[in-house]
Amino acid sequence: MKSTAPGARTCILVLGMHRSGTSALTRLLNFGGAALPQRLLGAGDGNETGHWEPQALVDFHDRLLQEVGATWHDWGSLDFSRLSQERVGQLRGELLSIIKQDFGEAPLFVVKDPRICRFVPFFTSTLAEAGIRVAPILILRNPLDVVRSLEARKEVWPPEFGTADGALLWLRHVLDADETTRKTPRAVITYDDVLQDWRGTFAKIARDAKIAFPNAADDFASDAEGFLSQGQRHQRHSDAELLLDPIMRGWVNETYSAGEELARKSGSPAALARLDAVRTAFYEALPLLAQISSIRQGALGLLIERNRQLEEAQSRLDTLAEELIETPEIEELELGDDDSALPEVQQIRAGISAFKALAVGQKEKIRELNRLLTEHQRDLQDARNKLSAMRRNAAQFDSQLATANAEIAAMKNSASFRITAPLRKAKTAVKTMAVSSAAIRTGIKRRGGLIPTAKKTVHVLRHHGISGMRLRLRALTDAQKQRTSIRRTLNSYPLVSIIVPNYNHAAFLEQRLKTIFAQAYQNFELIMLDDCSTDGSMAIMRRFEEQYPGRARIVANIENSGSGYRQWAKGIAMARGDLIWIAESDDWSDPRFLQALVPCFEDESVMLAYCNSAFMDAEGENVIWSTPEYLSDLDKTLWTRPFSMTAPQLVRKGWALKNIVPNVSGAVFRNPRLDTELSAMPWTEMKICGDWLFYLGLVRGGSVAYLPDTLNYYRIHEASTAKGTFRKDVYYREHEMIAKYALEHFDVPDDFIEKQQENLQRHWKSYRDDYSDDLFVACYEPERLRAAIGQRKPSIMMAGFAFCAGGGETFPIFLANLLKERGYPVTFLSCEMEDREEGIRSLLRADIPIVTDLENIAEVVEDYGIDIIHSHHASVDHSIATQLPKSCSAKTVVSMHGMYEMMEPIDRDAVLPRVMERAAALVFTSQKNLEPFENLGVLDHPKLVGIPNALPEVALAPVKRASLGISEEAFVVCVVTRAIPEKGWAEAIEAVSLAREKSGRDIQLLMIGEGPEYDRLSKPGAAGDFVKFLGFKQNLRDYFAAADIGLLPSRFRGESFPLALIDCLAAGRPMIASDVGEIREMLDADGELAGAVYKLNNWQLPIEDMADLIAEAAMRGDTYDQMVEAAPEAYRKFDPDLMVDRYISVYMTILRGEAPLAAAGHSSAVPPPEETGAGLSR
C-alpha cells in the first residue's frame, strides 16, 4: 500500500455494524466540517433523520460483495481470491470515480457504510493511491439493540434469520473493523457516548484519529443538540440483559465489553488481547458454524417451500370445494336412453369420489398443521414470558446492587471502619514492602553491591531530591511486579501451507484430502503436488480444486522428480504460510491436528511441533505401534507426555542416533524460506534420511514441541517408502551423512560414533544376510566421522534490547541474519525492554528462533548449548554480566554502539567494570566509544577491539515520487532516524523551511521513523505541506534512492556509527550530517566527502548552517555533483562480508581462550578467521 502524508486530503471512515448509530455519528462529523456525499441515501423506517451515506457507494459495495459470493448479511469469510488482479484494478478505479463524483476535492469528508467493515484494506489502500489519508472511527452499540433493530426491519432482514445470525453478523463486523485498523490512528467510541456526551466524543475523535476539524464544537452546538435526540433511539437494552442473554453472553458480550474498554482507554493492551482471543476462537469455530448454518438454511428453505406449496394446495382445494357445492350432483343427472355414456359417467363419478377423499385427507393435515402452529405460538409466548421475567430479575439485581453499594458507602463512613483503617493500611504496606524489598535487592545486585548502590542513592538525593528517589524506587517496583506476574502470549491465527506430495496414491488420496478439509483450524492453503501419477490421482485432486477454489491448487510435474524430498522443497518454495504441514498422500489425520499443534508456535523459539503418530496397516484398521513405542529405546517415558525441549537437548537425548520425528505428516514447522542454508544442504538428494537431515537443519538454535495425543495416522503398505529401508546400502551411507552433520553442528555425547556404529551393525545383521566388516565400512566409516570432531560451529545467542527502532536495536538483527546465512546456529534473545514493533521484528529471518527469558539467562544458555552471547545495549550487557554465573562456560561479546559514553559517570563507574570483567571482548565502532575506558585508565585493555559496522546487501527498488505526491523536479531531502528530540526532527523541518526561502527551490522533506516527535509533529498543521511524514519503513534504501540527498540532524550524544548513513550511501545518495562520532570518516571517499558535515554548538544544531548546506545542494551545482560521485566510493568501506569475518574471528579467538587483539593497539582491521581450525572441540 502506498503511503499518504498528513496535509493531504482526509477521509473519515465511520465503521460499525448496521443499526449501531453510524448515521448519527456521520451527521455529527458533518457538523464539524466533514463533507457529506452529494448523492445521499434517503431516510427510511427506523432512520427518519437520514442514513447520510452515498447511494452510489452502497450499490458498489453490494456489487462487490456479490462478486465474491456474499451479501451484506453474510457473516462468513469473504473469498476475494475469486477476483483477478485485473478485476481488482477495475474495482479500484470504480471506487475512486465514486469518491470523486460524491466528494469532489473536499479536503475533509466522511464516508459511512457498514459494509466497509468487511473489506477495510481494499478501501483504505485504494484511497491511499489517490493520496487520501483514511482516519477510521469505530462505533459500538449494545449488540442486543442492534439485533432487535435488525429483526424489526422485516423489509430487509431475511425472514429465516434469527437472533444468532444477527449476533454473528455484529461480531464479524466489529472484529474485522478492529483487526484491520489497529496500525492506523483511530478512535473507538460507543453510541451511548455520542448521545450522552457528544462534545467529549467529538474531542476524542479529533485527538485519537488525528483529525483537524474546521468547525469547533461551540460553532454547531445548537445543531448537534437538536439532531441528537434520545427519541431517535428505537431499541434500548442494558448491559445486564446482554450478559443474561444465552446467545449474547459469550463471544458477543466479551467483544462489546472489550470495545467499551477501548473507548474508555485508547489502545488498551488488555482489551486488544481480549479481542484477539475472541477472534481466534471465532475463526476456529467458523467451519462448524458455517456447516450448521448451511444445514439450517437448507431446512428453513425447504420448510418455506413446503408451506408455499401447502398454501397453494389449500387455495386450490377451497376453489374446487366451492365449485362442487355449486355444481349439481352428477349422481342425480338423467342419463336418458343413451347407455353409451354410462362408462364415462361412472369414470367421472369415481374421480369425484377420489377427489373428495383426498380433500378430506388434506383438511385433516391442515388441522394438524394448525394445531402444531398453535403449540408453537404458545411455546413462543412462554419464551417471551420467561425473557420478561429474566428482565425483571435483572432489574431487581440492579436494585439490589444499588442497595449493596449504598450499604458499602455507609460502612465506609462508619466509626468502626475508620478506626480499623490503620490496620488495613499496614496490611497493604506489608504487601508493598515485600515487592519493594525484592525490587531493592534486585537493584543492589544489578548495581554491583551495597556500596555502589549507596553512592548512587546519595547522587540521586543530591541532584533530584526525595521525589527523584521515589521515581526510581517506583520504577524498580513496577519492574519487579512485571517480572513476577504471569506472562501470557497473545493468540495468533497464522496461515498454514499444507503440502500434499502425491505419486500413485489414488487409493488413499480421497481420505487424505477429506481429513484436511475437516480440520477444525481452517486458516490454510492447500498445495497438491503430483509427480506424474498414472492411477487417477489427478482426477481426485481436480475435484477438490474445483470444490475449494482459491484454497486448493494443483501443481503437476511434467516429468517424475525421482525424489519425494524434491517435492517437499518445491512445495516449501511455493508456500505462503508462516507454518507448513507436509501431509503425505497415503496418511490421514484427526480433525484436531492443526488446532492442537498451531498454538505451540506462540512460543517463538519453537521451530517444529509434532504429535504422537499411530503406525497403521495398509487397510488403516490395525495399529502396529506408536511414536512412544518406536522411541522407547531412547527414553521409555519422554514421548508419553507433552514437552518443549531445545534442539541440543533432544540431540543429546538421541536425535543424532535416531530420527525422533518418524512421520512428517505428524509435524508442523515454521516456513524456513528456502533461500537459506537448508537449500544448500543435500537432504533433497537423499533417499531415506532426507527428512531427518532437514529437521536437524531446521531446528538449530531453537526448540521442538511434542504432544502425546494421537492426531496422525501413518500408513505402512507395500508401496510405502518406509518399507525395506534397512536392507539397502543407502540407509547406512545416509546415516554416516547424518552423523557427520550432527558432529559439525551439535555438541553430541563422546560415545556417539560408537553407539551409532553398534546400532547400524545390529540392523544390518538383523535385516541382511551378507554382513562383513568390509561391506559395512564401505557404507559407514567411523574414521571418516572422527575427522569431523572439533569442526563444530559455535552456537551464538544474539541479545537485543527489544524489537524497536534504533541503530543499536536493529544492528543485532542484521548481524544475526548474516551469521545464519553463513551456517551458524543463531538464537535471538529479545530482552523486551520496550514495546515490540512488528515492523522491526519482521526484519529478523524466519529461520532464527527467538527467546525472551532474560531473567533465567543461565538456564537458557545451558538449554540451548550457547557458546557465544553477543549483546548490544548497556542494559542488556549489565543484566547478562550480573545474572550469568562465573561457572557458565559461554563467552560474552559486547558491542557498545556509543551507549557507555552517554551514561552518567556514577552509573558508568558502577556498570562498566562489571561488564568488562564478564565480557571476553568489547567491540567499538568509533574512537569516541573509547572515552569511558580512557577515563578508567584502561584504554589499552586487550579485550577492546574495533570493528566498523556494515549492513546486508539488498536489491534497490526506488519509490516512485508520484506515490508520495512529489514532482520529479523537486529537490528531495530524506531523514531516517528514531523520532526523538535528540535526533533533530524539529530542527530538520526548520532548516529545510529556511533552505526553501534561501534557494527559492521546491525542497521536499521525507521524515521516516516513529516515536514521540512523529506523534507531535505529524499532527495536521504542525508542519508545512513540504514535509511528508511516512512513519516506519523497512525498505529505507528505496526511499533514499527516491530522494536527492540524506540528512542526519543528530545532537544525540551517543551517535557513533549511524546505520542510516550506510543505507543512504548504498542508495547512491550523499548525506548532510552532524559532525559527531565517525560520521566524517564514514563519508570520506579518498579525501572527498560524499556529502557535508556541520559542527554542533554545545550539542545544539546550527539551523542556519544546515539550511545553507541544503540550499546549496538544492541548486544541483558542481558541489552537489561531486558529493554524488563520491557516494559509491564511500560506500565500498562497508563490506558486510568483511564485517562478519571479523566478528567470527573474535568469536573463535575468545573461544580458544585468547584475547581478541594484542594489547599493542586498537585497529578496526581485525583479521578474518583462518580457514582451518575454526571449529570447537567437544
pLDDT confidence bin for 426, thresholds 50/70/90? low
CA dist 901 and 361 (Å) reads: 100
**Positions of E strands within 853-1011:** 868-871, 891-895, 921-924, 944-946, 971-976, 1003-1008
The model's pLDDT over 632-665, given as tens digits with 9 standing for 90+, comes to: 999 999 999 999 999 999 999 999 999 999 999 9
Digit-coded pLDDT (tens) for 32-55: 999 998 877 654 544 444 457 788
**pLDDT score at 930:** 87
How much of the chain, in percent, has pLDDT values that exceed 90?
Answer: 46
Torsion of CA 893, 899, 905, 910, to 10 degrees: -30
Q: Which CATH superfamily is domain 961-1134 in?
A: Glycogen Phosphorylase B; (3.40.50.2000)
* pLDDT single digits (tens) 63-85: 888 888 888 778 787 877 788 88
pLDDT tens-digit profile of 1018-1063? 988 889 999 999 988 888 999 999 999 999 999 998 888 899 999 9
Alpha-carbon gap, residue 219 to 205, rounded angstroms? 17
DSSP string of 1088-1107? EESEEEE--BTTB--HHHHH
**Least confidently predicted of 423-427, 679-683, 754-758, 762-766:** 423-427
What's residue 818's pLDDT? 94
The total of other beta-carbon atoms located within 10 Å of residue 72's CB is: 16
The predicted structure's pLDDT at residue 490: 36
Pure H helices in 153-268:
163-179, 191-196, 198-208, 221-227, 239-244, 251-264
Cα angle: 691, vertex 694, 698; to 5 degrees:
140
Among 1000, 1010, 973, smallest CA distance to 1092 is for 973
CB-count exposure of residue 2 (10 Å: 0-12, 13-18, 19+) = middle
pLDDT of residue 629: 94
Residue 347, C-alpha cell as written in the block:
369414470
Provide mean pLDDT across the span 311-336: 57
What is the pTM for the complete model shown? 0.61
DSSP 8-state symbol, 747: -
Highest mean pLDDT among 251-255, 328-332, 345-349, 565-569: 565-569
All structural domains of the chain with their residue ranges: 9-292, 294-327+347-404, 421-484, 496-585+605-654+688-786, 796-950+1137-1151, 961-1134
Over residues 697-726, mean pLDDT: 83
Any idea which residue has 552532524 for its cell?
1074
pLDDT value for 910? 82
In this model, does residue 383 exceed pLDDT 60?
no
Label residue 269 by pLDDT band (50, 70, 90).
confident
CA 738 to chain centre: 35
Confidence of residue 311 (pLDDT cuts 50, 70, 90): confident
In the structure grid, which three cell numbers stand for residue 318, read together?
377451497
Contact of 799 with 766, CB cutoff 8 Å = no
Q: What share of the chain is helix, strand, coil (3-state, %, to 5)?
A: 55, 15, 35
- CB contact set of 489 (below 8 Å; sequence gap of 6+): 602, 603
399-408 mean pLDDT? 59
In tens, the pLDDT along 101-129 reads 999 899 999 999 898 998 899 999 999 88
Task: Name every residue whose Cβ is closer than 8 Å to that of residue 977 and which is 6 or more positions away in sequence.
Answer: 983, 984, 985, 1009, 1048, 1050, 1058, 1060
Q: What is the per-residue pLDDT for 675?
A: 60
Rounded distance between C-alpha atoms, residue 176 and residue 237, angstroms = 24
Predicted local confidence at residue 1, as pLDDT: 38
Predicted pLDDT at 513: 96
Q: Pick the closest to residue 1068 from 1146, 1000, 1126 (CA basis).
A: 1126
Q: What is the C-alpha separation between 429 and 436, in angstroms, rounded? A: 10
The answer, yes or no, to whether residue 1128 has pLDDT greater than 90, is yes
Burial class (CB in 10 A: 0-12, 13-18, 19+), 568: buried
Q: Is the pLDDT of residue 147 over 60?
A: yes
Under the banding of pLDDT at 50, 70 and 90, the label for residue 1162 is very low
Question: CA 246 → CA 163, 249, 284, 388, distances in Å?
Answer: 10, 6, 21, 14
What mean pLDDT is reported for the chain?
A: 83
For residue 640, the model assigns a pLDDT of: 93
Number of H helices, E strands in the chain: 42, 29
* pLDDT surpassing 50 at residue 896: yes
Q: What is the 3-state secondary structure (H, E, C) of 1009-1057?
A: CCCHHHHHHCCCCCCCCCEEEEECCCCHHHHHHHCCEEEECCCCCCCCC
Task: Quote the distance between the C-alpha of residue 979 and its chain's center.
Answer: 24
User: Is 796-950+1137-1151 CATH 2.30.38.10?
Assistant: no
pLDDT value of position 449: 55
Question: Is residue 460 pLDDT above 90, yes or no?
Answer: no
Per residue in 1063-1120, pLDDT (tens digit) is 999 999 999 999 998 899 999 999 999 999 999 999 999 999 999 999 999 999 999 9
Contacts of 574 (CB under 8 A, 6+ apart): 497, 527, 555
489502500: which residue's cell?
Answer: 125
Choosing among 3.40.630, 3.40.50, 3.40.30, 3.30.70, the CATH entry for 9-292 is 3.40.50
- Architecture of the 496-585+605-654+688-786 domain: Alpha-Beta Complex (3.90)
Same fold, 496-585+605-654+688-786 and 961-1134: no
Alpha-carbon torsion (936, 939, 942, 945), positive or negative: positive
The share of the chain scoring above pLDDT 70, in percent, equals 77
Please give the pLDDT value at position 897. Answer: 86
